[in-house]
Structure 1
Amino acid sequence: MPIYAYACSDCGLQKDVMQKMSDEPLSTCPECAKETFSKQLTAPGFQLKGNGYYATDFKNKPASCAPCPSASSCPSASE
């Protein structure tokens, strides 16, 4: 079940609520009982894993690497 972020525009309460996608959005604030409780827009929290997804490096490596000040801190020194 997804977790939705809600906020009350009247009292300022912010709350995360786990509910089904088919459930009606909440509108009544549990703190002040006014109809000013609404969903907030948030960034999705998922990660792509598996073959074909390059999370930490690029598909094509750069042709040349700039000189590093010390060989121990250069990421391409271990290759």
Structure 2
Amino acid sequence: MPTYTYACRECAHRFDTVQSIHDAALETCPECGGALRRVFGNVGVTFKGSGFYRNDSREGAKKSASA
């Protein structure tokens, strides 16, 4: 199950919780009772191998690689 990060809009309390993707988002801060918002972070994606660059699918790239 995924871990979600929440932050309170009023007291800035941040915490992580494990929830199913089918569960409703939390709405109330456990510290002050204020409104929560879900925090989204950056996702690191690394593409490795051939086929990810524009010149990998061109005929000229194949000719120069075999030469």
Same fold per superposition (TM over 0.5) = yes
Number of residue pairs the alignment of both structures matches: 51
Q: CA deviation at 1:42?
A: 1.2
Q: Structure 1 length normalisation: TM-score? A: 0.54
Name the CA distance, whole Å, in 1 between partners of 2:38 and 2:3: 11
Residue 19 of structure 1: aligned partner:
19
Normalized per residue, the structure richer in strand is 2
Residue 28 of structure 1: aligned partner:
28
The percent of aligned pairs where both chains have the same amino acid is: 34
Which letter maps to 1:22? H
Q: Which runs of 5+ in 2 are unaligned?
A: 51-67
Which letter maps to 2:8? C
Deviations 1:52-76 (A, max 9, x none): x62xxx64xxxxxxxxxxxxxxxxx
Q: Which runs of 4+ in 1 moved over 4 A?
A: none
Q: Structure 2 length normalisation: TM-score? A: 0.62
Q: CA deviation at 1:6?
A: 0.4
Normalized per residue, the structure richer in helix is 2
Question: Relative contact order (C-alpha < 8 Å, sep 6+): which is higher?
Answer: 2
